[in-house]
Amino acid sequence: MELREKVSVALKQAMRDKAADRLSTLRLINAAIKDKDIAARAESNDEGVGNGEVLAILGKMSKQRLESARAYEEGGRLDLAEREKAEIEVIEEFLPRQLSDVETEKAVSEAVDEVGADSIRDMGKVMGLLKAKYTGQMDFGTVGPMVKARLS
């Protein structure tokens, strides 16, 4: 089952369960996916976004909420921080399991070897391969410096 279908099924179930908070988060996810569909159709006569792009949308939404929760905690608004964390939990239900640090390092090593990278100039190739294989499974903000260190 595609991610888009899983979100739709979960949305319908949240409506039946009258779970208002979960429902609002699922509607936000659905809206973000539809926005991306519209943008994709405007650029080309495509059918919309695939699973890879849906994973990227979900990852971005999760990251945004994590940053918001930190800001709310720093500002002393714990009630709003808790709401953001609850939204993160709903979003992460649809994301694949995050790779551990050891698994991430192994994936970086394999990608460097597969591309045949030997200098920092090849960083884009390595990152492209990692994004193609591990979208939604690793934080590329932390992987970038790891790749850079490996190639330096």
For 102-125, how does the pLDDT look when each residue is reduced to its tens digit (9 = 90+)? 888 888 888 888 888 788 888 888
Domain that holds residue 9: 3-92
What φ, ψ does residue 64 adopt, rounded to 5°? Answer: -60, -45
Based on the fold, state whether residues 63 and 14 are members of the same structural domain: yes
Model pLDDT, residue 18 = 93
Prediction pTM value: 0.74
Overall number of domains in the chain: 2
pLDDT at 1 over 80: no
Q: How far is CA 14 from the centre of its chain?
A: 22
pLDDT in tens, 30-64: 999 999 888 888 777 667 778 878 888 888 898 89
**If you average pLDDT over every residue of the chain, what do you get?**
87
φ/ψ region of 116 (left if φ > 0, alpha if ψ in -120 to 50, else beta) reads left
CATH number of 134's domain: 1.10.10.410
One domain, residues 38 and 73: yes
